[in-house]
Structure 1
Amino acid sequence: MKYLLMIATDESKVLEVEGCSAWAREMTERGVLHEVTGLRPTSDATTVRVRAAEVLLSDGPFAETKDQIGGAALIECADLDEAIDIASRHPAAALGAIEVRPLMVQ
């Protein structure tokens, strides 16, 4: 099953989490990591909404929280337990949070 790991940390404190490259290398060697990427800062984000057929844009994310999605990883593993184990090994899990979400389409 495929899962998306959404990596959230306080971007004002973390520019690059030490150990991410080693984690990516280990997961690639295990054959579970399909893709991993970091995101540019939330100051570069644009949020799009459509209300009453009008496109509304706002700068940045629409979240009132210090933790922002800063990266994502697409993994494929046997089950949720393995996905949780993989997420728990990511260095960012000690600084913020990693949401593990299964993909709808396989």
Structure 2
Amino acid sequence: MVMLHDIDDVQNLAIKARVNGVVVQDSNTANMIFSVADLVCYLSRIMTLVPGDIIATGTPAGVAHAHGPMTFLRSGDTVEIDIAGVGVLRNPVGEPVGSSPLPQPVGATS
């Protein structure tokens, strides 16, 4: 766990997203639409934040629909979000839950 006093400037941290080890987004918290302070302020008004909570900030520039050709996550992929000085959040992508397959985005290939 990283404490606030261990970070020089939360609004100036490198943030990267990787899919299967390939960097797909590379930016900085300074470039995000909402500041870290704004996110914490908003969330703390509607819920109690406790040590260990993870706040999803959204993603920096470089989402899949902006790429050519478009690429989408598939079952078996691994997604990593790496914030410098904070750590890496790593999640596997699983199969859709439910009896029917998810609809494919327009232009997506199986």
TM-score over 0.5 (shorter chain): no
TM-score by length of 2: 0.27
TM-score by length of 1: 0.27
Name which one, 1 or 2, has greater alpha-carbon Rg.
Answer: 2
Q: Which has the higher helix share?
A: 1
Q: Which has the higher strand share?
A: 1
